[in-house]
Structure 1
């Protein structure tokens, strides 16, 4: 039978299949794949390249996943393309144990988290309230649980790392156009290939723009990304990759809060309702420069050095909900007080990370030794002005929930220049050194030992205060290969996270001790039915201490700063199950289930938790489930896919119920010569639901109604 080669597609169809695809890290592939003539390219590729064989995220060395004693999940570029995901929120349903909290923040194994890494280092250009885009992202890698031994201060639920697209020598050029309801329109151009005849230099050029008018009143969105890269191969042993990214994100009618609900989680008005005026906005301008140098001294000794610099400026003018009122005494809130916030935030950060890896044999054991260090400096400035609501003798009017009348007021009516701003100016320095030994005790049995020393130095230049401290974290893990079918592992690790520099102010009750955490995790990875079925399971217990919460008493000392208090200890227990199977040569299915129970175990006298009258954490559903199945039609080079996402009951920060929901999705793909046509339908049955909750005054975040997208990608 004749063989054909299916070219790798670099297209990012700018639509959301939003199916619950959970990646089983089993197999990896290169840039091409050989398939039978009667096996269509779209389906054949999905069955192989969704599975990733190795990752450097957990150990900073390229390691087979079966030899990593910790849960790691990889979402590859092929899955991002097939789901047509365009922003990180489109991918949360793919990650077991993760669900939306607010903006780009998530609940990760029961804990709220915001921080992310790029190429394994700090420097998030979307730092703040912007939502990261995926145009220049090749993989999303998720390391679950505290990761202090490798990455220092971080959230205990885990780390999300974006692997950026790099220049490649294999030539790929493509242009894509996508349209959809809510006035969605996007275009993109991506080109990469050799820059000289000797193929010692390569380039990457990416340009992307997408605009839409989402379902909330007064909102519009425009994203533009220019992504450039250049690679120098000075020799077979040494290469340098330079990257530059320019990001512009303009969100009209933002910063966007939720829609008010009653205590049972039912919306009090239409989900289109928006507390903001048409002139409100949230604008982000960011630039990133990154350089990565790799050098191999010999086959057993390698060095890599990464420097990343970013800066961003975020401007926000928006009306903030400040309380609900029942104006007609019928027992149902129908009016929202509002204040107006004029805010400017500036972030600037630089990181330097160096790793030296040595492979050696000691007796009958094989070792991969890692010695590394990193430094990160983050400067933050803010200028914040707030105009009060009319109910507190301010100029800002409220807004009716049922019959909102927009356009009667704007920033020009609030005499902002006469308001005294709140200024913030902080500098945070992080220093770390770490050592790791990956030991092959036998062909089946592996041991991973790691330790890290961190020092942090925070300065509040407005309060003229500083806080310094240090900590040591470590990790002990083991893996075992049982007959190449079952790969159990066990882990104990610790982590810590310094409190933010602004939280250390004496006016807020500081300084506060850093958060600390630890994890016990047991898991097994499996290859079943001649590798047609992959089943991964993990159970864990995470303990987290010294979490800061707002003091219910507010500004205790009447010094203009709301006070903070520390919750003593929170414990998160959970179980995760991920399944992927090739049911037939043309039929693939994936499924995932996650259970989590996070509760306050020890508390301060002032407060037990931000969720009133309970020891549970906000936006932490106990059960989530996802299923995605896809069938190919070889005769017409097409495939159809359907999926369902289920999220259990949650509670908001104010203790209001967030109802459980199920959302169904549909996708169709067709390839013809150099074209790829893709249709995606999100929320197929147009279900009304809330993805997460916040405060009662700001409401729940409504999920998107039905969205339909059509994209066409041409490779040339």
Structure 2
């Protein structure tokens, strides 16, 4: 007895699949947009809204170019990680020191020191590398041991990454370039007065005038006598003056003469002991069981002091040889004197 396998064609009514020829399928796909358009086409009763035009200028604290002559292209086209902290941003935040201004950029930490062993002046770590000797003023390395003020700065430029191509020998984490305020032809009359908590008292002035046909002068001054929020006895007191004059503005040859003198009479901060804080360890069981210290307390001597006199004089000469080609020379003389006594208290 033999068995035969039989097959038969499924009819369209008994199968979910319908055989369609290629020409018919193409015609169906082409007609689909027309059908959709016909369904969504507006009728005569559909209202038409009037055209709305919006115009405005960009506002904010974003800087598109660097003031450094070594970075000639817009930041968008510069193959480096560059963050610029503008003067307007520092004024809006009430920043008075370089330390406060640098809080606007990630990757920078401060060397706070232990038991008062911190280095004097600004001590920054960028991406884990010390930048104390990689701080520049108008492209010239500034080695002064001083807590820098922002009263005479147009902007702060933070360049991250290996900096050998820009500044020669330097830190692997990057460098900080401070751009000074220089004379302009326009008239300027700016002043600030700050009074706040922690006995904060501070005043600044920025005055400028043009004279002759291509010259101008500018004067920046600052005075302050302030405490430190959350700390007893610690004090920041001093004054500063920064005169400048420029010749040949808006001409191919320009000469800038500017200087800065800073006097500080501070009470330095040696920090607080970590006794009583989580993670504190000492072999002396009685000390190890001590209570947590008050963070406001001043653990130092009444004779602790920090007296600083920093002078800087700069001559900058520029000459345009051709469009896009400039010869520039910057010469600076600087001297910093510090008398500092800081007492640290150990367990």
Match of 2:109 among 75, 99, 120: 99
Pairing partner for 2:137 from 118, 137, 141 = 118
1:555-574 paired onto structure 2 within 5 Å: none
**Structure 2: distance between partners of 1:149 and 1:206:** 33
Who is 1:237 aligned against?
A: 252
Residue 223 of structure 1 and its aligned partner are, at CA, apart by: 2.1
Distance 1:164 1:300, change over 3 A: closer
CA distance in 2, matches of 1:170, 1:265: 58
Q: Does 1:304 align with 2:314?
A: no
Verify the 8 A CA contact 2:96 2:149 in the aligned structure 1. Answer: yes
Query: What's 1:90 paired with?
Result: 100
Corresponding residue of 2:215: 201
The aligned counterpart of 2:308 is 284
| Partner-residue secondary structure (3-state), 2:208 | strand
Contact 1:92 1:99 in 2 (8 A): no
Q: Which of 255, 268, 274 is equivalent to 2:292? A: 268
Aligned equivalents of 2:305 and 2:279: distance in 1? Answer: 28
Q: Alpha-carbon deviation of 1:230?
A: 0.2
Taking the TM superposition and a 5 Å limit, the aligned residue runs for 1:303-342 are: 303-321=327-345, 323-324=346-347
Structure 1 residue 138: deviation in Å?
0.5
Q: Whose Rg is larger?
A: 2
Q: In 1, are the aligned partners of 2:67 and 2:179 still within 8 Å (CA)? A: no
2:242 aligned partner: 227
CA contact (8 A) 1:56 1:63 kept: no
Partner residue, 1:52: 63
The one-character-per-residue Cα deviations of 1:195-249 (angstroms, maximum 9, x if unpaired) are: 23x2x11000111101113343332221211010000007721000110111011
**Structure 1 pair 163–251 and aligned structure 2 pair: CA distance change class (3 A):** same
Q: TM-score, normalised by structure 1?
A: 0.36
Aligned to 2:176: 160
1:125-524 matches, cutoff 5 A:
127-128=144-145, 130-196=146-212, 198=213, 200-214=214-228, 215-233=230-248, 236-252=251-267, 254=268, 256-262=269-275, 264=278, 268-321=292-345, 323-324=346-347
Q: What SS does the aligned partner of 1:54 have?
A: coil
Shift of 1:280: 1.6
Whether contact under 8 Å (2:270, 2:343) holds in the other structure is no
Give yes or no for contact 2:217–2:245 (8 Å, CA) kept in 1. yes
Whose strand fraction is larger, Structure 1's or Structure 2's? Answer: 1
Higher relative contact order (CA closer than 8 Å, sequence separation 6+): 1
1:685 aligns to what? none
CA-CA distance at 1:164 after TM superposition: 0.6
Cα offset for 1:274?
Answer: 2.0
CA 1:231–1:155 in structure 2 vs 1: closer, same or farther (change >3 Å)?
same
SS for the counterpart of 1:287 is strand
3-state SS of 2:91 partner: helix
Rounded to whole Å, the distance in 2 between the matches of 1:276 and 1:203 is 44
How many residues are treated as equivalent by the alignment? 272
8 Å Cα contact 1:123-1:308 kept in structure 2:
no
Q: Does 1:73 align with 2:48?
A: no
Give the Cα–Cα distance (whole angstroms) in 1 for the partners of residues 60 and 257 of structure 2: 27
Residues 15-36 of structure 1 show CA distances to partners (whole Å, capped at 9, x for unaligned) of xxxxxxxxxxxxxxxxxxxxxx
Tell which deviates more after alignment, 257-266 or 283-292.
257-266
Would the aligned equivalents of 1:92 and 1:100 in 2 still touch at CA under 8 Å? no
Separation in 2, partners of 1:87, 1:194: 29
Deviation at 1:91, TM superposition (A): 1.9
Q: CA RMSD in A?
A: 2.2
SS in 1 for 2:165: helix
- Tell me if the contact between 1:123 and 1:309 (Cα under 8 Å) persists in the aligned partners: no
Alpha-carbon separation, structure 2, partners of 1:177 and 1:69: 40
Question: Structure 1 residues 265 and 173, CA, compared in 2 at 3 Å: closer, same or farther?
Answer: farther
Q: Say if 1:118 and 1:161, in contact at 8 Å, map to a contact too.
A: yes
Secondary structure of the 1:276 match is: coil
The alignment's TM-score, normalised by the length of structure 2, stands at 0.73
Secondary structure of the residue aligned to 1:319 is coil
SS at match of 1:55: coil
User: Unmatched 5+ residue regions in structure 2?
Assistant: 1-54, 113-120, 281-290
Moved segments of 4+, more than 6 Å: none
Distance in structure 2 (CA, Å) of the matches to 1:152 and 1:143? 14
